Every structure is written in C-alpha cells, then in structure tokens.
Amino acid sequence: MARKYFIAGNWKMNKTAAEATALIDAIKAKIGTQTKVDVAVCPTFTALDAASKALKGSTIKLGAQNVYVKPSGAYTGEISADMLKEFCCEYVILGHSERREYFKECNCFVNEKVKVVLANGMKPILCVGEKLEEREAGKTIDVVSQQVLKGLEGVSKDDAKNVVVAYEPVWAIGTGKTATPEMAQEVHAQIRKNLAELFGAETAEDMQILYGGSMKPENAKDLLAQKDIDGGLIGGAALKADSFVALVEIAQNA
Ligand code: PEP
C-alpha cells in the first residue's frame, strides 16, 4: 500500500469558535473536496463543536490536541475520549513537546493516552523529538527511539495501522528554524526502523511519519521529497488559510 501524504494543522491555543469556522470555510473553499492528500485540522476543545459543523460535507478531518486517560469522573479540567467522539474527532495529537515540557507528560503517560485513543476508535498522532541540548550531545536517535518504543508499547499490530507519528525537533517548533531535509530524513528512517521492530516491516512501511517544526510552503517541497517523510504537522502556517492550503497543494504534487 502506497502511503498517502498527510497534512495536519495543530492550531494550539489559538482561534475562538467563530474564528475556527471562518478559517475552515476559507480552507474548504480551496481544498474541501480533494482526496489525494489526507488533511486534518486540530482546533482547541472549545472550537471542536463549531469546527465539526464547519467541516461537514468536506474531506477534511477533525482532530483534538489532547485527551485524558479516564472515561469520566472527578478530573477537573480534563476531557475524555467519548467527549471528543461526540464531535467526530478522528485524530488526537499526543505527546506534543509543549505538553511534555509545560505539563510534564512522560512517555509512560503518553503511552496510556495512545492506547485510550485507539481503544476508542480514533487515531493518535504521537509527537516525538529531541531538544537542542540532546541533539548537541549526539542523543537524538536515542531520545526519539525511546519516545517511539515507549509511546507505542503494548499497541497491537492491527491498531498500529491507525497510528501516525510526528517527528518534531523541539528546537525547530515555532522558532523559524527547520531541520534540513537530510537531518529530518535520518530521524524518520530511524523511526520507521523502530516501528518495524514493534510491528514488523510491512506494517511500518504503511505508517505515516510526519515532520513538524516550522514547516511552511517555502521549505515543504524539499522535506516532502524525502523517502520517509509522509507529510507535516503544521503549527504557525496552519493558522492562515493561504499557507495551509499551499502546503496541501505542495503535498498533492509531491
Ligand atoms: C507544532 O507545534 O506542532 C509545530 C510544528 O509548530 P510550528 O509549525 O509553528 O513550528
């Protein structure tokens, strides 16, 4: 099975419900029915309802940016998988470096979340990536391999088909600095090896591995040309219809 490119927008803590609707309408007008590339937008929780309604009739999928591991109960401020499903979320971003850094999420907690998302019929986008000091200390491959192997521990081969991995070097997120295509490819190839260790080579070949970290229309073509880069998890450039649409169009022609 040839892998499809996947362009996913991580809106982070941006866009009210009304702004989400306006952005989706603008994106839909340009690429709302294309099927060549998988496309998803991941707004904040409070915009999911509006986004879900705005996406109706389009091929663009909805994702959330987090989930809690319990189904319900006394967990003030948290959101369950069922609550995401109510809005037809297909994807959930997990283990983003901002969650690892500011909210102290560890590989083990991220792994629990991955399994909850899969058990609920949704697709985790598992984010992994090294910090600058880890890269400089020559630890990139070690750190990323651990994040992949621990993050996906206990996931079945069948469920692995619904897992997306996003390699996001922390030093490249929101900084304007991007990994060179060769640097990114080296890590993506390692991630595919890790996936093959876990699920076998055939399953690993079918899994999408996205690059994230200041990806924009100016650098996307060269990144997407790499053998193991299957798309992008896009932060800043996903907040404007023009740049997000341009990225989808680049993926369509990659
Ligand atoms: C992200 O946070 O997932 C991301 C890739 O952000 P940016 O594109 O802004 O670097």
In sequence order, what DSSP letters do the residues of 202-229 get, joined into one string?
HHHHHS-EEEESS--HHHHHHHHTSTT-
Which domains, ranges and CATH numbers included, belong to the chain? 6-65+77-253 (3.20.20.70)
Residue 2 has a pLDDT of: 83
Residue 211 burial (10 A CB sphere; 0-12, 13-18, 19+): buried
DSSP 33: T
Which atom of ligand 1 has the smallest separation from the CA of 216?
A: 8
213 lines ligand 1 (CB under 6 A): yes
Report d(CA 238, CA 215) in Å as an integer. Answer: 10
How confident is the model over 177-226, as pLDDT tens digits? 888 999 999 999 999 999 999 999 999 999 999 999 999 999 999 999 99
User: Each residue of 124-151: b (16+ CB within 10 Å) or e?
Assistant: bbbbbbbbeebbeeeebbebbbebbebb
Residue 53 burial (10 A CB sphere; 0-12, 13-18, 19+): middle
Tell me the two tokens of residue 120.
């609920």
212 lines ligand 1 (CB under 6 A): yes
Number of H helices, E strands in the chain: 12, 8
Residue 1 has a pLDDT of: 62
List CB contacts of 102: < 8 A, sequence separation 6 or more. none
> Tokens 């892998």, residue?
3
Beta strands in the chain (DSSP E): 6-10, 38-42, 61-64, 91-94, 123-128, 164-167, 209-212, 231-234
Which atom of ligand 1 has the smallest separation from the CA of 232?
A: 5
Tell me the two tokens of residue 1.
């099975």
247 lines ligand 1 (CB under 6 A): no
Q: How far is the CA of 169 from the centre of ligand 1 (A)?
A: 10
The catalytic residue among 98, 130, 134, 168 is 168
222 backbone dihedrals φ, ψ, rounded to 5°: -70, -35
232 lines ligand 1 (CB under 6 A): no
Residue 174 has a pLDDT of: 86
Residue spans of the chain under pLDDT 70: 1
* 3 state SS of 170: helix
Catalytic, 188? Answer no
Q: How far is the CA of 44 from the centre of ligand 1 (A)?
A: 15
Report d(CA 230, CA 81) in Å as an integer. Answer: 26
Residue 72 has a pLDDT of: 98
38 backbone dihedrals φ, ψ, rounded to 5°: -75, 135
Residue 177 has a pLDDT of: 84
List CB contacts of 159: < 8 A, sequence separation 6 or more. 118
Tell me the whole-structure pTM to 2 decimals: 0.97
> Tokens 């309604």, residue?
53
Tell me the two tokens of residue 232.
């992008």
For strands 164-167 and 231-234, give the pairing: unpaired
For strands 61-64 and 38-42, give the pairing: parallel
8 Å CB contact between 66 and 10: no
